[in-house]
Structure 1
Amino acid sequence: MKFLKLSLAASVALGAFSTASFAQPLEDAIKGIDVSGYLRYRYNDDRYDANEFNKDSVAKSNATHRWKAVADFKAPVADNVAFNFGILYNNESQNVNHGNTYPGTSSGLGSGKDGSFGVSTFNAVITPDSTATTVIIGKQRLATPVTNAGDDDRGTGILALNSDLEGFTFAAGAFDSWSIDDVHKGYDLGDNSGTSVTKPLYALAGIYGVDTAYGHFGAQLWGFYIQDAVDALGFGELSWNNATFDVALQYALAKLDNSDSSILGALHPSVVGTNNLQIGSVANRANIAEANDLFVINLGADFAQEYNVPLDVKLGWVTNFQDGTAVTLNDDGTAFKYAGALWWQNNATGISTSALLPRGVAGFGSEQEISVFYGAIGYTMVDSRLRIGLDYVWGNNEVTAGNVTLRDTDFQEITPRISWKHNKNLTISGYYAYLMTDGPNPVSGNEDQDRARARVEVKYSF
């Protein structure tokens, strides 16, 4: 029986790894098994003025070699039941720092003892004949608008997907433990050290898509609940696209748990602003704004198919209406259609969409207002192998408490990009992101700050 073809854009990749309870020749044991995945190398070189660029930064620079290997083993479904098994090697901490530490040595050095290796997925997959339903039980990737399966976000539990109604896919999931890769190291909440959150996570979703003579119309709605962390989180999207143009409206709303028992209290210590104003002074309370939201408008166009011009562009606007912007679990979530590379990932701008990251969130009792405009353009050449692009972002982030302004930061980011598709398996890419901020920063006190990141990536997919 073949796997159900799902319309769920963020659904996990389904597959199976077949094992037997009896001994048999290796050739027979691996017959029919499909292996897919990738090998990836990244070199990052971050340059900045103060120790606040990202969660692993050191003073003035943070250069790293990073290696990652993913292999997923899939086998044909037998009697409507299969198993999915994946292995992962992910080394994200090989600092180089180019002699900026005394006496010119640093942990790892790019060639020292390296990092994490283990089982990334291990689950049973059930696909009954009588219904267009797939049920996944066990350890699996969390592919939702507020998490990022590509960043190895995972959960252990059950996920059910149903497409019996034409054009619709419904999903329901319950996970008793889960792991978010992009959580600040040292908080024991699911970073690359192998720890995980043990508070239950529940999810419901409905996705609709229909093709018409006027293009494809789509809609999706997600709801989440996390015990002692997130009382309610919703994500919705309306979209339309044809051969050339696409439009998307996205909105996320979160009500976070600020009670004494909330796990967010350990992540977000009291925020101290100017004039010794302390936000979130209630003992043991999670010091993060309870009401959060984010609204994104994205317009795009690709002129290659209809007009034979290998040019693509997109424009967008990001803003919020509630007290904060903490509406995701991983701020690298792929749902929001941003441009740029840095502005939502460091304390210089003070913007983060993750409720689990201590950087950039509005404190309890404060109000945050952001307005971000972005644009991107790309041109493809050399038989569609070479693409060059340029992203531009302008934004403002203002945080106030009563009559006191804790932050009023303007910023711009310019990010040229280039990629070369050597063949169907191998792609080489890179970018140079330059971020400029202007305005008082409560962390460093600097008025004007510059950030830069150079990245080179080599990825082989199989």
Structure 2
Amino acid sequence: TPLEEAIKDVDVSGVLRYRYDTGNFDKNFVNNSNLNNNKQDHKYRAQVNFSAAIADNFKAFIQFDYNAVDGGTGVDNVTNAEKGLFVRQLYLTYTNEDVATSVIAGKQQLNLIWTDNAIDGLVGTGIKVVNNSIDGLTLAAFAADSFMAAEQGADLLGHSNISTTTPNQAPFKVDSVGNLYGAAAVGSYDLAGGQFNPQLWLAYWDQVAFFYAVDAAYSTTIFDGINWTLEGAYLGNSLDSELDDKTHANGNLFALKGSIEVNGWDASLGGLYYGDKEKASTVVIEDQGNLGSLLAGEEIFYTTGSRLNGDTGRNIFGYVTGGYTFNETVRVGADFVYGGTKTEAAANHLGGGKKLEAVARVDYKYSPKLNFSAFYSYVNLD
């Protein structure tokens, strides 16, 4: 078969990212190994995706990934340039247009409400069925195992988020995990002159917990060109009997955010409540889940006691954000997050106290395919 014929139905996409990371800590700063403790690190991430129709109704997908960190100073002054590509995702999709249903089977990024949906979200091997036969409603069911835990490290539930070489010292300890099963209903409807987007998620992770989540957002235009959005979410779980003990508690998170946009200006006001002051609990499975639209700041939700993916502490936070976008390309903005973590008076329960973060941001959208961004974050823990 000629090369031109072989590749004519192949779609190629990908991401190329360079990130410069560095962090400085006051000598009295409480140990928080989850925060940005890099020293002039150069981080390279590249993903190349190939998708091809291989038969009627069948498509194959493969993703190659490159992820390396070149240290810039001190003991981290090393180079990982020799690190090669590896196959991160590999799956087959069958689509039946008559019933508006797709079946995706293989090694794939899960993209759940409890996992990161960006380029480095949790990958597992499994099957997902997606149906769009009802107008405005997407129904999905999924099952997965063989999670790519090494890629996530401390971002995955059950792994350590404190400075220790013993992962079992993680606040939320998981001795073993089983299969993950779940379903979701995601809607998008025109309502009262605006857009209403509800979500319902259910999942059972064997030997861990039964997870449930509800998210709803409503957007509309009020007065003269003022875009207004209100979003709220509740995430909870009921622990498996193996974890339902004196050191673990069921997790609950309540979040609410309102935002406006007008003539290039944008602002938001929001808050969160989650966690248990005496026992370890979690509200997501990996990193901060797919909750970015309900969070602010960069580092504060990674501090000890406040991590969403397993920690000990009752957390209450409020935040405001604001910014201005010039010519639809350059945005200058800031976040301010304030709150605190309450823990019981025990030596092994770190992370309690008042917490504050202030962030300055600049984002430049050079073109639809090229973006530049930078932020400076200041975190204070009392």
Normalising by structure 1, what TM-score?
0.70
Structure 1 residues 354 and 315, CA gap change in structure 2 (3 angstroms): same
Determine whether 1:352 maps to 2:320: no
1:225 deviates by 1.3
Give secondary structure in 2 for the equivalent of 1:27: helix
Equivalent in 131, 139, 158 of residue 99 of structure 2: 131
Partner of 2:324: 379
Partner of 1:3: none
Partner of 1:206: 185
What CA distance in whole angstroms lies between the structure 2 residues aligned with 1:31 and 1:373?
A: 52
Partner of 2:171: none
Equivalent in 324, 330, 333 of residue 286 of structure 2: 330
What CA distance in whole angstroms lies between the structure 1 residues aligned with 2:308 and 2:196?
A: 27
Structure 1 residues 71 and 164, CA gap change in structure 2 (3 angstroms): same
What CA distance in whole angstroms lies between the structure 1 residues aligned with 2:198 and 2:189?
A: 9
Give secondary structure in 2 for the equivalent of 1:127: strand
Equivalent in 213, 223, 240 of residue 218 of structure 2: 240
1:186 deviates by 12
What CA distance in whole angstroms lies between the structure 1 residues aligned with 2:16 and 2:148?
A: 22
Determine whether 1:426 maps to 2:370: yes
CA contact (8 A) 1:257 1:290 kept: no
Structure 1 residues 432 and 82, CA gap change in structure 2 (3 angstroms): same
Give secondary structure in 2 for the equivalent of 1:182: helix
Partner of 1:183: 153
**Cα deviation digits, residues 14-38 of structure 1 (max 9, x gap):** xxxxxxxxxx222221112111111
Structure 1 residues 253 and 186, CA gap change in structure 2 (3 angstroms): closer
1:210 deviates by 0.8
Determine whether 1:314 maps to 2:268: yes
Determine whether 1:94 maps to 2:70: yes
CA contact (8 A) 1:68 1:88 kept: yes
Residue 286 of structure 2 aligns with an amino acid whose one-letter code is N
1:115 deviates by 4.1
What CA distance in whole angstroms lies between the structure 2 residues aligned with 1:64 and 1:335?
A: 27
Partner of 2:173: none
CA contact (8 A) 1:317 1:371 kept: yes
Partner of 2:164: none
Matches within 5 A, 1:25-104: 25-48=2-25, 49=27, 52-55=31-34, 62-76=39-53, 78-91=55-68, 93-96=69-72, 98-99=73-74
CA contact (8 A) 1:252 1:293 kept: yes
1:182 deviates by 3.2
What CA distance in whole angstroms lies between the structure 2 residues aligned with 1:119 and 1:188?
A: 25
Q: Which has the higher strand share?
A: 2
CA contact (8 A) 1:374 1:394 kept: yes
Equivalent in 280, 304, 314 of residue 369 of structure 1: 314
Matches within 5 A, 1:431-442: 431-438=375-382
What CA distance in whole angstroms lies between the structure 2 residues aligned with 1:179 and 1:112?
A: 21
Equivalent in 228, 245, 259 of residue 300 of structure 1: 259
What CA distance in whole angstroms lies between the structure 2 residues aligned with 1:188 and 1:84?
A: 30
CA contact (8 A) 1:132 1:164 kept: yes
**Cα deviation digits, residues 93-126 of structure 1 (max 9, x gap):** 4333x33xxxxxx25x253455463112111101
Give secondary structure in 2 for the equivalent of 1:147: coil
Q: Which runs of 4+ in 1 moved over 6 A?
A: 185-189
Determine whether 1:342 maps to 2:319: no
Give secondary structure in 2 for the equivalent of 1:334: coil
Equivalent in 144, 151, 154 of residue 112 of structure 2: 144
Partner of 2:237: 254
Partner of 1:111: 79
What CA distance in whole angstroms lies between the structure 2 residues aligned with 1:287 and 1:214?
A: 50
- Which consecutive unaligned segments of at least 5 residues does structure 1 have? 1-23, 100-105, 190-196, 263-284, 304-308, 356-360, 363-367, 439-462
Identity %: 26
CA contact (8 A) 2:177 2:205 kept: no
Matches within 5 A, 1:2-17: none
1:221 deviates by 0.9
CA contact (8 A) 2:136 2:189 kept: yes
Partner of 2:202: 223
Does 167-176 or 49-58 show the bigger shift? Answer: 49-58
- The structure with the larger Rg is 1
Give secondary structure in 2 for the equivalent of 1:344: helix
1:380 deviates by 0.6
CA contact (8 A) 1:400 1:407 kept: no
**Cα deviation digits, residues 313-338 of structure 1 (max 9, x gap):** 11101013756551111223232411
What CA distance in whole angstroms lies between the structure 2 residues aligned with 1:241 and 1:346?
A: 32
Partner of 2:249: 290
Structure 1 residues 112 and 134, CA gap change in structure 2 (3 angstroms): closer
What CA distance in whole angstroms lies between the structure 2 residues aligned with 1:343 and 1:57?
A: 11
Partner of 1:154: 123
Give secondary structure in 1 for the equivalent of 2:4: helix
What CA distance in whole angstroms lies between the structure 1 residues aligned with 2:40 and 2:156?
A: 20
Aligned length, in residue pairs: 354
Structure 1 residues 401 and 436, CA gap change in structure 2 (3 angstroms): closer
Higher relative contact order (CA 8 A, sep 6+): 1
What CA distance in whole angstroms lies between the structure 1 residues aligned with 2:35 and 2:349?
A: 28
Give secondary structure in 1 for the equivalent of 2:300: coil
1:185 deviates by 8.9
Partner of 1:192: none
Determine whether 1:388 maps to 2:342: no
Structure 1 residues 212 and 57, CA gap change in structure 2 (3 angstroms): closer
